[in-house]
Amino acid sequence: MHYFGKLIQFRRTDMDELTIYKNRRRKARLAGTGYLILAFAALPDILRKRLFIPNDPVATSNNILANLSILRLSILGDIVTEISFLFLALCLYSLLKDVRRSASQAMLSMVLIAVTMTVFNTGIEIAAINLFQSTDQLHGFLLLEVFQTLSIPATFFFGLWMLPFGYVCIKSDFMSKFVGFILLIGSCGYVIHAVFQIMSPGTSEHFLFISVIAEVTTIIWLLIFGVKQPCENRKKFNTK
């Protein structure tokens, strides 16, 4: 009886671990899906940069009025990707809060700040479009300058949220520690880029390449592996 009692106990433990693993894997893959959608955030920025001509309100106005659908699509893309960013953060918080709650809360807070700033910034871009359509080129161009300037402090938070995320991955026993260290390094790319944009505007964006590598690595891990599987080779229980 003692033997069978221990056998039932270990089987229940195995079932509990399997259930926990499946729940964690589901949350991780949902997060990976949100992160994959977020990865397309660069596309709207690429689209709009083709329309902005530095120090030339007239040329910028002509480009925007001739390509209004492209600019409006980029604004919509920003909103969609920020919703995905929030979804990603909520999935990760649900997944990681039991590892380090304070760090997970810090991660979620950073994302909320970044999302709020970016969505607010899209309103400025919409106002600029309205001014260009009313032939107020100077004020429209000024709003676009404000839009581009406000994106710089938002970049800080796009980097800072990866710090607690990477830290919790390292401390967790079911996430990849390698991915955690990559995230810490990738965070520096965004932060350094933002600092250089303030101190030396127009500086090369090579630092962002570090962040891109970190994020792509994380997306692949979340989508393919999700979380580590529980140890299958249990020690044989003592029958004594």
> Could you tell me the pLDDT band of residue 3, with boundaries at 50, 70 and 90?
very low
DSSP label at residue 50 = T
At 126-185, the pLDDT tens digits run: 998 888 888 888 888 898 889 888 888 898 999 999 999 999 999 998 999 999 999 999
Report the share of the chain in percent with pLDDT over 70. 88
pLDDT digits (tens, 9 = 90+) for 30-56: 999 999 988 887 777 777 778 888 888
What's the average model confidence in pLDDT over 186-209?
A: 84
Tell me if 131 sits within 8 A of 65, measured CB to CB: no
Top-confidence residue, 118 or 53: 118
Q: Could you tell me if 191 and 167 are in contact, meaning their C-beta atoms sit under 8 angstroms apart? A: no
Give the pLDDT mean for 219-233.
Answer: 80
Q: Rounded to whole angstroms, how far apart are CA atoms 188 and 163?
A: 9
Give per-residue pLDDT as tens, 12-29.
Answer: 455 577 888 888 899 999
Q: Where are the domains of the chain?
A: 27-225
User: What is the per-residue pLDDT for 6?
Assistant: 46
What are the start-end ranges of the H helices in 39-67? 42-49, 57-66
Q: Report CA Rg, the chain.
A: 23
Among the listed residues 166, 197, 172, 158, the one whose alpha carbon sits nearest the alpha carbon of residue 184: 166
CB within 8 Å of 168: residues ≥ 6 apart: 96, 99, 100, 103, 104, 107, 175, 180
CB–CB of 84/135 below 8 Å?
no
Is the pLDDT confidence value at 5 over 60?
no
Mean pLDDT of the chain: 84
Q: For 220, phi and psi rounded to 5 degrees?
A: -60, -45
Q: How far apart are CA 74 and CA 79, in angstroms?
A: 9
